[in-house]
Amino acid sequence: MVTFVRYSLTIRWSQYKQLPLLLFLTLVNAPAAWSQVNTSIYLDFTKEMTGYGTGGPDTAKLATTLSRIPSWMTSQLPGQEDTLYVLGISDPGLTDSVARYQAVIRALAFGALANLTSCEHFSDFYSEEKSSGIDSKYEEIYRFSAAVSGKIALSAICYDTILSSSEALVLMGIPLKKLPDDTIKSFRIEAILYNKEADISSGNKMSKKVDVSILKRNTDEMLVLDASSFYQVNGKATGMRCLFPQSQAAYSRYEFYYTSGGSPPEADSTDFGGTTCKQGLWIAYISQIMEQLSMKTKMLSNDAQRLRDQSEDTSTELLRERSRTRLVWKIKAIDIHDDKMRVKMITAKY
């Protein structure tokens, strides 16, 4: 039995006893160690993406599921200086108890990320101009991470809802309590965004991968509490990997649609373009967050190198950028209309 301020939540999960419910509720400042990123990592991503092609599931053969979004999710989130409010979303296809477990874990992990995100960015732009035309390739990798202590603080599930798609939604209120710098960091969230755009004679191809892992330290090894990845080619979902086979099957079987009350809010200059919800709310949610974090990180890029080479009939150029920074952010509001999610975030350099 795990007791929160407003609710008592019982998780019966005998099938997955190796993944205990671990609530890493106290947020701490813990910048990740910088790992040197080089072009060999691009090769790893490119090889992995090759297997996903440009196809993906045949949407004509997908069943559809319609869910109604609760009003609390699209209301403006509460604002308190000593409490961070974060939304957690599960994968579809799970039992209610497992879905809530996953949504809570994700909310708390993203709460740690919002409290202090260590951001690392590495990108290459390569261009080759020949008499036959211009070929170009742009690749970039972002890594966002945060570490969390294993000490328990009082957090609350403010709202929770299970949708007809079996997706669980929870809104967590997490106390912003700073611990001493020597506090052991027992948990970790790591999120990676990889983008590649190639313009060649055969056409344009844009590839994207997002990977999110939530880890727990166990003596000298890290155990996976949650993990998910998705792939897109030219904006179309071509693959999804997640921890539970039931969710994997749901993502492969369904196209997701949602309705919400009220009218869309008026757009303003701070709005970020929406992300389709047809592949599920979790994918739309992390896409919105990571795209906005990556944009802010890139704006703060502090290391650029440019190389040029000119021959008689060919001109090549390589621009390489690298940056490291730390960000704090919070979600102001979430809007879902016309099968698109828009997340309004306030982001600042730490």
pLDDT given at position 91: 95
Encode pLDDT of 44-60 as tens digits: 655 555 555 445 555 55
Fill in the amino acid letter for 46.
Answer: T
Three-state DSSP class for 223?
A: strand
Summarize the confidence of residues 32-44 as an average pLDDT: 45
Highest mean pLDDT among 60-69, 250-259, 310-319: 250-259
* pLDDT above 90 coverage of the chain, percent: 34
Encode pLDDT of 280-306 as tens digits: 999 999 999 999 999 999 888 777 777
State both tokens at 3.
């007791």
Strand partners, 231: 209, 239
Domain count, the chain: 1
Query: Judging by beta carbons within 10 Å of its beta carbon (0-12, 13-18, 19+), is residue 338 exposed, middle or buried?
Result: exposed
pLDDT given at position 288: 94
Domain that holds residue 177: 2-349
Which residues lie closer than 8 Å to 103 by C-beta, 6 or more apart? Answer: 88, 89, 90, 160, 168, 169, 170
Bigger pLDDT: 131 vs 191: 191
Local structure of residue 51 (DSSP, 8 states)? T
pLDDT higher than threshold 80 for residue 14: no
State both tokens at 274.
């929406």
Cβ(190)–Cβ(143) under 8 Å? yes
pLDDT given at position 34: 30
Encode pLDDT of 70-103 as tens digits: 999 988 777 677 888 999 999 999 999 999 999 9
Q: In residues, how long is the chain?
A: 350
pLDDT given at position 75: 82
Encode pLDDT of 158-187 as tens digits: 999 999 999 999 999 888 766 555 455 678
Summarize the confidence of residues 253-272 as an average pLDDT: 71
pLDDT higher than threshold 90 for residue 143: yes
Encode pLDDT of 320-339 as tens digits: 888 899 999 999 889 998 88
